[in-house]
Structures are given as C-alpha cells and as structure tokens.
Chains A and B, each alone.
Chain A
Amino acid sequence: MTGVWLFVTAFVVGGLICVVGQLLMDLTKLTPAHVMTLLVVAGAVLDGLGLYDPLIRFAGAGATVPITSFGNALVDGAIADTRQYGLLGLITGIFEVTSAGISAAILFGFLAALAFRARG
C-alpha cells in the first residue's frame, strides 16, 4: 500500500481500533486501564497468529500508532532474537523494537515534569 490510499486506511483502521477501546469502556464494566491492557495483549496474540504484520502493511500508522502495536512489537522483538539466541532470545529481544517508545516516553515525561506544573 502506498500514497494517498495509505492515509485513508490509516485513518479508518486506527479510528476503528479506538472505537473498539471506547465500546469496551462504555458497554462493559472494564476500567480504562483494563481496556488498555486487553488491547496490548490482543496485539501480542494477533501477532502470534501472524495477523498483525499484514494489518501494518494494509494500514500503516493506523496499525502502528494504536497501543495494540505495542504488544505486536514486543512479540516481534522476542521472536527475532530467538533466531540468534534460541529460547533466551525471548528475554533479550522483548524490548528491542519498543525501546524507542518507552525510552522516549520516560525521557519526555521527565523533562515535561521539569518544565511544567500540574494544571487544574
């Protein structure tokens, strides 16, 4: 998928994943924390079934920006390292792909705490 079409699928698929999250919050008794956790686990399981990577090829950022991709990226890192280190690769590889996201979130979160005050 390339060009303008990828922007359309990114919007629609990304929006739909958020709708799933919203419906789980509104129509079940799950708390937002439970819903986030569920979506991450769902991303990991979908990747295990080989379904998440095709979704990324189809929807681009529509599949990589929602939190489900965090589960997918954790599994991708773990599986990639098993090729090199065997079973131990599951441990060494888990944060390989998600390192950018977690490091950035910690760093910018800390810098924001230095620079700003809580509001409201």
Chain B
Amino acid sequence: MSVKMASDKARYKSFLKTRQPGRPWFRNAIRAFLAGGSVCLVGQGVQETFVHFFHFSEKTAGNPTVAILIFVSSLLTGLGVYDRFGQWAGAGSSVPVTGFANSITSAALEHKTEGYVAGVGANMFRVAGPVIVFGVVAAFFVGLARYLFVSG
C-alpha cells in the first residue's frame, strides 16, 4: 500500500511538471531580453537623432545619448513609472545605464525625509557606489596592464 502511494506521489509530481508553466528563470530571461533590448533600441534612436539632426559623429553622440537616457530615467523614477517597469523587466531595467540612474534617483527619493545632506547626499550612491568603486579599480589595473604590456 505505502509503496503504491509513493509511486502515486512520484507520478503526480511528474504529471504536475508537465502542467506547470515555464520555470521563472526562463520567463525572466525573455522579459530581460525584450525590455533591455528595447531600452537599447531607444538609445540607438536617440543616438541617430544626434548624428543626423545635430551633426554629432557616432563616437561623440554617445555621451549626450547617455545624458538623455539618464534624464528620462530619473524623471520616470520620480513619477514612479520606472520601478513598475523594473518589476516586470528585472535585469532588463537594471543592466542598462537607465537602471544606474534609477538606483541613484530612487535612493535619493527614499532618504529625502532624512534631509538633503544626511539623507539624499549620503545615500545617493548606496547602490551605484559599488559599481563605480569596482569599475574604477578594475579600469586602473586593466589600463596598467595595457600600458605595461601593449604600451598604450
């Protein structure tokens, strides 16, 4: 009897598996792809606008494009829209540079009640800080290696 029950359990489990929707990591990856790709698509559009209408080169258009994306992201974060987008998009919203701006703006907003110096100023880089710290340290050593071994 107990043996039969155990096999029933196993059969039920395998039956359940065939009925369950795709595992969340796969769904999350699809969402991250669509959302992240779309943000980059918008970035490409902004960049082409700078190239074709404001006579930037593809190279020099990069910086103003990033500034525009960051402005839009900060605005959408202030309006509460970016975080809702982030709940759907996951890494698709946090990996683009807009996610970097979102982390800074939302940390600033979150700590506004503690004052502009001790709250906003002190907490702005709570999430974005590690990215800058490790980015700079890594860039230093990569640059050093290039300088020593490839000579510029």
Q: Interface of A with B (CB < 8 Å)?
A: 6-7, 10-19, 21-23, 25-27, 32-33, 35-37, 39-41, 43-45, 47-48, 59-62, 64-67, 69-71, 74-75, 77-79, 82-83, 87, 90-91, 93-94, 97, 100-102, 104-106, 108-113, 115-120
Contact = CB atoms under 8 A, between A and B. Distances in A.
24 contacts: A10-B43, A17-B95, A21-B91, A21-B95, A22-B31, A26-B24, A26-B29, A27-B25, A37-B131, A61-B47, A64-B43, A64-B47, A65-B39, A65-B69, A66-B95, A66-B96, A74-B139, A79-B147, A102-B132, A105-B74, A109-B124, A116-B78, A118-B106, A119-B80
Interface in B74-96: 74-75, 77-80, 83, 90-92, 94-96
Task: Report which residue of B24, B64, B134 has the largest number of chain A beta carbons within 10 angstroms of its beta carbon.
Answer: B134
A7 B35 contact: no
Contacts, number: 259
Nearest to B62: A64
A71 B128 CA distance: 13
A24 to B, nearest CB: 8
Interface of B: 24-25, 28-29, 31-41, 43-48, 58, 62-67, 69-71, 74-75, 77-80, 83, 90-92, 94-101, 104-110, 112-113, 116, 120, 124, 127-128, 130-132, 134-136, 138-140, 142-147, 152
A108 B64 CA distance: 14
Contacts of A23: 25, 29
A55 to B, nearest CB: 12
A110 B124 contact: yes
Contact of B37 (A14, A70, A75): A14
Closest 9 CB pairs of A and B: A14-B40, A18-B36, A15-B37, A74-B139, A61-B43, A116-B78, A78-B143, A48-B142, A108-B74
A31 to B, nearest CB: 10
Contacts of A120: 80, 83
B99 A90 contact: no
A14 B94 contact: no
Given A21-B95, A37-B130, A111-B74, A70 B25 contact: no
A36 to B, nearest CB: 5
B110 A118 contact: yes
B94 A21 contact: yes
